[in-house]
Amino acid sequence: MKRLSWKRENPGRPALCSLGFRGGLRGHTQLIEQKSGYVRLLGNSLAERCSDPMARGAGRPQEHGSRFEQFSNDMTAIVIAYTKVGLIVAADGRARLEGDSTIGTDHQQKIFHATIGKADIAWTLAGNVFVGTFSLVDAVKKSMDAANSSNPLGCSPWLDVFAAHLRNSVSEARNSKLIPPFMENSSHPNPAERSVFATVFMAGYFCNGKPSSAQISLAHEKGELLDPLPSKLVAASFSENHHNVYYGSQEIILRYHNLHQDKRFLKYFRASGRTLEEGLAHAKGCIEACCDPLAREIDPIICNKIGGHIHAAAVTSSGFKWLIPPKESESI
């Protein structure tokens, strides 16, 4: 059975078509604290709820002017960047068949438009995207429709309905044998993520009309899907330190942010700034750094599967718009 998935190869599984991204979620996202050149990997990032948008898990470090961002190591490049004008979501376009890297496309769409209630969002996903005849993209869209139809009171209840519906859809596909048994991805560099089937990312102004972002993960244990928690909800926050996410090669992303002694990738760096143009340049520069031929020498396992057409969308208080449109239609 072939899979079109955005994750790493697993030699013990059937041939997969890899779009290459699946990242450190389900409460295990790495945070990086930067203070005067000092870098420290921090612990788990737990759920933030609408009632307390600044709430974090136990042991959250104090900021005091520090920079906290989510860096993840995986075979795609995705950036979510906050600006004063709106949120940027950008991704590469490379898709390859796992087991035969000569088959694939450099124009795969990975970012989509949807709504939470009346609020526009941009969303993307990581993990097993197409498995046989099962489409995770379609399942996400149907789960969003179900959540909107339920008319929940608030963005946190909406996410709960969405997550439960998506889990049921994936479970039904497994019970119908549309997808094979859930297996640990032993080749994933982060042990905490080896049992994550998929993760959905959302960004927009969907909590009280203010900048918000969310991550919902589906993990499995002993062949069964777990409840899709913890989710990460940053509600009504105006801080880039809360929203910014970087997926791709951690080796290259650290260099892009000048957090490594190797300075050869600083030519790509652009500050996120205050405007959509500056935010786009920041997100696009990070992805371009992961696509550099030198990146393939430094981190060949990951960076060889990053590339293709970079596409990006912005969500502002006025709605969704493409900054760099994908080269394929949204119906994939």
Encoded amino acid at 90, one letter = A
Residues 289, 268: Cα–Cα separation, whole Å: 6
Q: Tokens standing for 39?
A: 């870098």
Q: Is the pLDDT of residue 289 over 60?
A: yes
CATH number of 3-324: 3.60.20.10
Query: How many CB atoms are closer than 10 A to CB 329?
Result: 7
Q: Tell me the mean pLDDT in the region 194-212.
A: 91
The answer on pLDDT for 49 being more than 50 is: no
Q: What is the DSSP string of 157-177?
A: HHHHHHHHHHHHHHHHHHHTT
Q: pLDDT tens for residues 213-235?
A: 998 989 998 888 888 765 678 88
Binned at pLDDT 50, 70 and 90, residue 323 comes out as: very high
Q: What pLDDT band is residue 66 in, cutting at 50, 70 and 90?
A: very low
Predicted local distance difference test score (pLDDT) of residue 251: 94
- Amino acid 248 reads G
49 DSSP assignment: B
Q: Name the token pair of 18.
A: 């890899």
Structural contact between residues 91 and 112, judged by C-beta atoms closer than 8 angstroms: no
Chain centroid to CA 176: how far? 28
User: Do 305 and 76 form a contact (C-beta atoms < 8 A)?
Assistant: yes
Q: Which residues contact 44 (CB under 8 A, 6 or more apart)?
A: 27, 28, 29, 57
Parse the chain into domains and list their residue ranges: 3-324
The closest of 87, 115, 127 to 234, measured between CA atoms, is 87
In the chain, % of residues over pLDDT 90 = 47
CA distances (Å), origin 322, targets 53, 107, 199, 310, 327: 28, 15, 22, 12, 12
CA angle 116, 320, 31 (to 5 degrees): 75
**pLDDT at position 207:** 93
Residue 31 confidence class, pLDDT cut points 50, 70, 90: very low
The confidence score (pLDDT) of residue 69 equals: 53
pTM of the model: 0.78
190 or 24: whose pLDDT is higher?
190
pLDDT bracket for residue 128 (50, 70, 90): confident
Mean pLDDT lowest among 8-22, 82-96, 210-224: 8-22
Q: Which residue has the higher pLDDT, 212 or 47?
A: 212
User: Among 210, 233, 206, 212, which residue's Cα sits nearest to residue 152?
Assistant: 206
